[in-house]
């Protein structure tokens, strides 16, 4: 069974400080990992995916298969980064059966 | 282009009743997935439809069912409602429903069971 764990329910950081949102997964096959974000009063939306190897809004995430982790990082937090972040997993190339973590609320303190 | 729409946005039912929720995907998208979101369990996958066929199903009882029409619009039905079915139900659409396609989420339907 696939499982995604986000150990922190709430992460508070000061503006300008580095951010790291943790995500660990368990999956026996070849996983595709995602980060979704939900800003206040907005829809859930895709932030980035490991296969794209992109930096979106200054965020990056590296898939570490040895540690089965996909942590989301940003060197300098901005107030507009305050949101709910969900790590998610699906089978690479497979149909969309996405397993979500329970989410981490990021609060950036001005 | 218009985003994913869900109707109704809010719904109040009583235990034992049944409910039908509707989802209209983005034009051209053929895959629709449904999720249940609760404070305790987070986002849980219900099922996914593509070209009117259910391709994947999560671990929910048979009271939860769905269907997809030829225009890709989808409905989900919950029969014999229980208090624990109170949740935000989200649908998401994508082009072909494989992991390489981005999912676009609707605003959700908030179901309250009394």
User: Looking at residues A23-28, what average pLDDT do you find?
Assistant: 92
Query: Who contacts B28 (Cβ-Cβ below 8 Å, separation ≥6)?
Result: B95
Give the domain extent around A86. Answer: 3-109
The tens digit of pLDDT for each residue in A63-102 reads: 898 999 999 999 999 999 999 999 999 876 667 788 999 9
| Domain containing residue A87: CATH number | 2.60.40.10
Q: What is the pLDDT of residues B14-43, one digit of tens each?
A: 999 999 999 999 999 999 999 999 988 899
The Cα–Cα gap between B7 and B17 comes to 18
- For residue B33, give the nearest of B47, B22, B44 by alpha carbon: B47
Looking at the structure of chain A, the number of domains it has is 1
Q: Residue-wise over B7-33: b if at least 16 C-beta within 10 A, else e?
A: eeeeeebeeeeebebebbbbeebbbbb
CB A92 within 8 A of CB A2: no
- CB contacts, 8 Å: B56 with chain A: 95-97
Which residues in chain B touch residue A96, judged by CB atoms under 8 angstroms apart? 31, 33, 48, 56, 94, 97-99, 101, 103
């Amino acid at each position: 069974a696939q499982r995604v764990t986000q150990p922190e329910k709430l992460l508070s950081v000061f503006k300008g400080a580095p951010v790291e949102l943790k995500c660990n997964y368990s999956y026996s096959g070849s996983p595709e990992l995602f980060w979704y974000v939900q800003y206040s009063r907005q829809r859930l939306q895709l932030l980035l995916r490991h296969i794209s190897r992109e930096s979106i809004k200054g965020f990056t995430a590296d898939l570490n298969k040895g540690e089965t982790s996909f942590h989301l990082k940003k060197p300098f937090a901005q107030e507009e980064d305050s949101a709910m972040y969900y790590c998610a997993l699906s089978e690479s190339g497979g149909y969309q059966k996405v397993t979500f973590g329970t989410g981490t609320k990021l609060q950036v303190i001005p | 282009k218009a985003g994913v729409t869900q109707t109704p946005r809010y719904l109040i039912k009583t235990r034992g009743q049944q409910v039908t929720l509707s989802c209209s995907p983005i034009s051209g998208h053929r895959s629709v997935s449904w999720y249940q979101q609760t404070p305790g369990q987070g986002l849980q996958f219900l099922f996914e439809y593509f070209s009117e066929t259910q391709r994947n199903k999560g671990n929910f009882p048979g009271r939860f069912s769905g269907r997809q029409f030829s225009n890709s619009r989808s409905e989900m039905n919950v029969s014999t409602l229980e208090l624990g079915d109170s949740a935000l139900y989200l649908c998401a659409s994508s082009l072909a429903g494989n992991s390489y396609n981005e999912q676009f989420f609707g605003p959700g339907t908030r179901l309250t069971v009394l």
